[in-house]
Structure 1
Amino acid sequence: MIRLESIGKQNGRQIVFIEASAAIQRGEKVGLVGPNGAGKTTLFRMINGEEQPDEGQVSVDRGVSIGYFSQDIGDMAGRSAVAEVMDGVGPVSALAAEMSELEAAMGDPERADEMDAIIERYGEVQGKFDELDGYALDGRAREVLAGLGFSAEMMDGDVSKLSGGWKMRVALARILLMRPDMLLLDEPSNHLDIESLIWLESFLNGFEGAILMTSHDREFMNRIVGKIIEIDGGTLTSYSGDYEFYRQQRALAEVQQQAQFERQQAMLAKEIAFIERFKARASHAAQVQSRVKKLDKIDRVEPPKRQQTVRFEFQPAPRSGEDVATLRNVHKSYGARRIYEGLDFQVRRGERWCVMGVNGAGKSTLLKLVAGASEPDDGSVARGPSVRMGYFPQHAMELLDGESTILQWLEDAFPQAGQAPLRALAGCFGFTGDDIEKKCRVLSGGEKVRLVMARMLFDPPNFLVLDEPTNHLDIATKQMLIEALSRYEGAMLFVSHDRHFLAALSNRVLELTPEGMQAYGGGYVEYVERTGQEAPGLRN
């Protein structure tokens, strides 16, 4: 269905692909993986026809329709979310818009003299709309939007008033409604909460066409794909299996290649030593020449390519007392909307609470109250006297000053620290050498997250409050963060939509629902086993 045949591609001085080949068959669900900057988006654009390879060929079977969801969603304005989603399907959307205009005209007394023509035209448009199954399409559009977390009010509201994250969901819904022969999905799990992620998993598992997707959510990818294509060093390598199988196979291949490399190096060293020892002796000239020719013909084994990842290092924090944070009879409202009425909750030393709840349940509000970023309307919030807190807010990247360099931003936060410890801190979070002189505005999303975390952890906290800390982190960096936090000895209170993160780090679950609060002993894995649901209100 899709064939990439010995493609070569260069962007400026960067060589992206060198004689790379791969194929995607009808109905295959494929995960595309590789380090940041490896060329994943370039590959999507070549398959979609937006770019051409410099060498080789990208072949798409005749008649195959492709739906491409990218992070560049363009402008959205002037119509409802439902209309925006339906517009991707073609003429049905235009007919729906004209029907809406004609309905308004029929109710306009100033156009009474045109009424016969308006009614006649409305009948024609409505007939075409019905022929194209427009009424069912409207229902399908609303079903997709509801799955992605939209309320009825949001569906019919002006799309231009939505935040960037919600516009991303509209763009994704538009592609899903198209039901093309192939979906190209570039990070579809970004900006989704856990409920929407689980709905999207179900939708994609039931999708009959082919899928090629990237995602920083390993659990999401594992549940959908049955094949992995890896981009590394300009080449494409295919693995049959999900992401976990790919990781195992790649690790095994690295071990085997390293062993093969070391064996060949030992053999080469032995041959070179013989040549050096006997090259001046006439009696051994023939043997020396024979071995020189042998070495010239040998195909050299390269050492395995090691994908570089950031290794987070948390400095040991002082021990806190037993009572870390205590909320008593807390009330909190935003206008007429009540979030909490008489909330009682406590975090104790060694506890790692993950907070679950549907949109609007008050997850971020709870973290803000505990961190002191918001005050309760009534009741009390107290932290223990020996508690040293580190708070990572949901929009933590907004804390950065775009015109400051990494070093300047850290120096502004810790003016008494001196450059040496701050450079060491930056190095622990992947900013080495000249990187520390980069302006904050040029950093990638993942780099910004790492920098905010570095500042938060300079003075080691014994209580971490983290609101979606894994947003913008790739799979490898996310795994490094999980490994570092698993060694962290302080208390934690966190919100995340990443189920691997939840399962690896939590030992308590706090579920927030409209009916109230429910606490569960044991972590996220035990929560799923006990409740039969991966998120509040969603049954397995």
Structure 2
Amino acid sequence: MSLLVVNNLSLSFGGRTIFENLTFQVSEKDRIGLIGRNGTGKTSLMRIMVDEAAATAGEVRVTKGMRLGYLAQDISDPSDETVLQSVLEAVPGRVELDQRMERLEEALSQAEDQEEQAEIGHKIAKLAETLTDFETQYAKHVAEQILTGLGFLMEDMDRPLAELSGGWRMRAALAGLLFQKPDILLMDEPTNHLDMDSVRWLGQFLERYEGALILVCHDRDFLNSQINRVISFEMEGVRQYRGNYESYLSQRAEEEHVLERQAKKQEQRVKDAMKFVEKFRYKATKARQAQSKLKLVEKMEMIKTHAPQKSMSFSFPEVPRSSQNVVTAKELTKAFGDHVLYKGVRLNAQRGDRIAIIGRNGAGKTTLLKIFAGEMKAGEGKVDLGHGVSLSYYAQHQAEQLEASRSIVEEVFTAVPKATQTFVRGVCGAFLFSGDEVDKQVGVLSGGEKARVALAKLLVNPGNCLLMDEPTNHLDIVAAEMLTDALKDYNGTLIFVSHNQSFVKRLATKIWDIKNQTIEEYPGTLTEYFDHLDRLEEEEEAQARQEAKPAQADDAPDPAGGTRAEKKARKQAEARIRQLRWEKIGPIQKRVQEAEKKISKLEAREAEISELLADPDVFSDSEKSQPLLEEYQKVKDGLDTLMNAWEADQEAIEELEAQLQAELDA
């Protein structure tokens, strides 16, 4: 089934054609990757599809009833909502339904005429059915699961969006989009602002997602795992391919190989024909044949090979050799107020290491790089640089720190003031700024262009220890891979932060994972580290199952350490806590159970009344509808009272449970 059709779509800006005559359709199981360099029209196409921008020509037709959900790279200013509210209310029509119910209930409380009351009651009943269906399809616990998958804690649910950073607000927007369950999900760089765990969770979520997907992403591995079609913005126009990104690359290479072979054969045929023409055009017996061959050549449509796209082409220069120990941290502690990032950490980066720092957002990855770079002080401990170590720091927002009033070439010159014009212009050319482009002011450049300028400045004068924070941000997939290749050949030491799985997997030889106020070091690749974590989880589950088996002897050694006697003492303590739990929590739980039974009965009666009022014969008869309306109001009031009491008892149980657990742990 076709969900959406793009027909002969064209887009131009200021006389420049971005794409033209683009036609394709999106079906139910399509998972489409939009591939192309920055500025080729990927984001523009998405915005046209969701009616946020206009095309120059052509049309987009959405099948009736199909819903589109769009995650842009930038989000608007935050509202006054909490994190959880923003997700729950992201579903189209939810807010309007709640507001409509409030208006109807207010109107019912003020209506005096029985006929008017009956009519309003009928509307309330119908709307209540709709809201019940809505709550079933878009449950609160599902919203919470999505938010926690994206890195939010339960205590974050009631935080106002306005308190959050831009990155966390983007996560909330992503959660709202996923919660909506649109028929077509359009996502523009969804892994931006996510940490490694959240990227893994998002990938698993999308693999289970049943709708269609249209995706722009510079993370090669993430993109490759999600798509089964490619729409590619090439020099010769927009092309379409079946398969994932790796398949697209193979098809594209084979296509180029075939075209080159055909072009060579055609070129040889032309040469042979022209040779015949030159030899026989003036010979009477062959003149007509020569003329025919000449006309054939003139009418021949020449085979064109794919025009090569300009690519960044650079490598880091050889850097001086440093001592074996490059960066050493001893008893490193950092906290912001009461929030401790890490405490008493010892780290050592050795010459030639390529270390990826991972951890959830807010764990302190950027902070650690800033401490190493000398841009932030540690709370306690110290950081020592080895002999002959020179640091170069590429900050997460390095591109934003460029001087807007300078030209590109002037900005690059600031990194190497003694270099020649020829050298600096050559470097600019390697980063795709050639000719008069180098005289453009930095302030008018796109995010991707600014990122290339910042990388150019790093390239011309790199230290032998690079500290890089999210260096692939604003780069397209090809540019990110060029940077990966250059860093693989870099002969210095690299310590970096990146959410790009492909980038980390191809580069890292060591992992520093920030969690639980410490930094765990793993000597291996990201793939090996994830495998290691999976094995640990399996071992812990097996250990838990083993410990759950009944003990056989009090004095026998316990697999987890200690003796059976100690384990028995622990069980006795747990039994005492169970007794206290029965004495203190038992009565409250009994009240909760009784309240839940009453709530269930009242909800059932509320549904029955709603169904009765939905009958036109009933609501039009005031003698029948009036008692029902009065009962409906009493039931609603009773439910409110019971729910308030139930919530208070639940909070009391949680507090008592926490106290008892603290006693057990003491």
Same fold (TM over 0.5): yes
Of 293, 296, 301 in structure 2, the residue corresponding to residue 294 of structure 1 is 296
Residue in 1 that maps onto 2:375: 373
- From 146, 156, 159, give the equivalent of 1:157: 159
Q: CA deviation at 1:60?
A: 2.9
Q: CA deviation at 1:143?
A: 2.5
Give 1:500's aligned residue.
Answer: 502
Aligned position for 2:242 = 240
Distance 1:56 1:233, change over 3 A: farther
Rate the CA distance shift 1:378–1:71 in 2: closer, same or farther, 3 A. Answer: closer
Give deviations 1:454-498, integer Å, cap 9, x for gaps.
222322321111111111111000010011111111111111111
Residues 294-315 of structure 1: per-residue CA shift (max 9 Å, x gap): 1133221002222221112211
Structure 1, residues 478-521: CA drift from partner, whole Å, max 9, x if none? 01001111111111111111111111111111222206332222
Distance 2:536 2:474 in 1: 22
Contact 1:528 1:534 (8 Å CA) reproduced: no
Aligned-pair distance for 1:131?
A: 2.1
For the residue of structure 2 that corresponds to 1:59, the secondary structure is strand
Deviation at 1:371, TM superposition (A): 1.6
CA contact (8 A) 2:81 2:160 kept: yes
Matching residue of 1:411: 413
Q: 1:167 aligns to what? A: 169
Could you tell me how far 1:250 is from its partner in structure 2? Answer: 0.8
SS in 1 for 2:499: coil
Contact residue 197 and residue 359 of structure 2 kept, 8 A? no
In the alignment, the residues of structure 1 paired with residue 232 and residue 443 of structure 2 have an alpha-carbon distance, to the nearest angstrom, of: 30
Q: 1:218 and 2:220 equivalent?
A: yes
CA distance in structure 2 between the aligned counterparts of 1:59 and 1:91, rounded to whole angstroms: 22
| Equivalent of 1:347 in 336, 346, 349 | 349
Bigger shift: 382-391 or 525-534? 525-534
CA distance in 1, matches of 2:289, 2:323: 76
Alignment partner of 1:74 is 2:76: yes
Partner of 1:436: 438
Q: 3-state DSSP class of the match of 1:205?
A: helix
Q: Is the 8 A contact 2:235 2:306 kept in 1?
A: no
Is 2:27–2:212's contact at 8 Å kept on the other side of the alignment?
yes
Runs of 4+ in 1 over 6 A off after TM superposition: 97-101
| Unaligned 5+ runs, structure 1 | 106-113
Query: What amino acid is aligned across from residue 225 of structure 1 in structure 2?
Result: I
Cα gap change, 1:181/1:389 in structure 2, threshold over 3 Å: closer, same or farther?
same
Using a 3 Å threshold, how does the CA distance of structure 1 residues 173 and 251 change in structure 2: closer, same or farther?
same
Shift of the 9–513 alpha-carbon distance from structure 1 to 2, 3 Å rule, reads closer
What is the alpha-carbon distance in structure 1 between the residues aligned to residue 524 and residue 75 of structure 2?
A: 41
Q: d(CA) in 1 for partners of 2:94 and 2:129? A: 8
Q: Is the 8 A contact 1:86 1:93 kept in 2?
A: no
Q: In 1, distance between residues paired with 2:271 and 2:479? A: 38
Q: Which moved more, 1:469-478 or 1:454-463?
A: 454-463
More displaced stretch, 526-535 vs 488-497? 526-535
Code of the aligned partner of 1:200: L
335 and 425 in structure 1: CA distance in 2 versus 1, 3 angstrom threshold: same
Residues 288 and 429 from structure 1, CA distance in 2 versus in 1: closer, same or farther, beyond 3 angstroms? Answer: same
Q: Is the CA contact (8 Å cut-off) linking 2:512 and 2:521 kept in structure 1?
A: yes
* Structure 2 counterpart of 1:178: 180
C-alpha change, 1:403 and 1:252, in structure 2 (3 Å) is same
Aligned counterpart, 2:266: 264
8 A Cα contact 2:334 2:342, kept in partner: yes
Aligned counterparts, 1:277-356, within 5 A: 277-356=279-358
Conserved 8 A contact 1:22-1:237: no
In the alignment, what sits opposite 1:108? none
Is the contact made by 2:431 and 2:456 (CA closer than 8 Å) also made in structure 1?
A: yes
More strand by share: 1
Aligned sequence identity (%): 34
Partner Cα separation in structure 2 for residue 153 and residue 128 of structure 1 = 32
Q: Deviations over 1:266-302 (max 9, x none)?
A: 2212322332344344443212211012113322100
1:208 maps to: 210
Hey, what's the Cα distance between the residues in 2 that align with 1:332 and 1:515?
9
Pair 1:522–1:172, CA change in 2 (3 A): closer
In 2, Cα distance between the equivalents of 1:346 and 1:52? 54
Q: Where does the alignment leave 5 or more consecutive residues of structure 2 unmatched?
A: 111-116, 542-666
Residue in 2 aligned with 1:131? 132
For residues 19 and 534 of structure 1, the distance between their equivalents in structure 2, rounded to whole angstroms, comes to 54
Deviations 1:341-400 (A, max 9, x none): 211111111111111222332222221222212222222211112112211122212321
Further displaced range: 256-265 or 424-433: 424-433
Separation in structure 1 between the aligned mates of residue 332 and residue 100 of structure 2, nearest angstrom: 51
**Deviations 1:196-233 (CA, angstroms, capped at 9, x unpaired):** 22222122221111111111111111111112122324
Counterpart residue number, 1:511: 513
The answer as to whether partners of 2:38 and 2:475 remain within 8 angstroms in 1 is no
- Structure 2 vs 1, CA of residues 467 and 175 (structure 1 numbering), >3 Å: closer, same or farther? same
Quote the offset at 1:100 in angstroms: 11
Larger Rg computed on CA atoms:
2
Partners in 2 of 1:394 and 1:19 — Cα distance? 38
CA distance, structure 2, for counterparts of residue 435 and residue 213 of structure 1 = 30
Higher helix share: 2
Do the aligned partners of residues 145 and 96 (structure 1) sit closer, same or farther apart at CA in structure 2, a change above 3 Å counting?
Answer: farther
- How many residues in Structure 1 have an aligned counterpart in Structure 2? 526
User: For the Cα contact (< 8 Å) 1:16–1:234, is it kept in 2?
Assistant: no
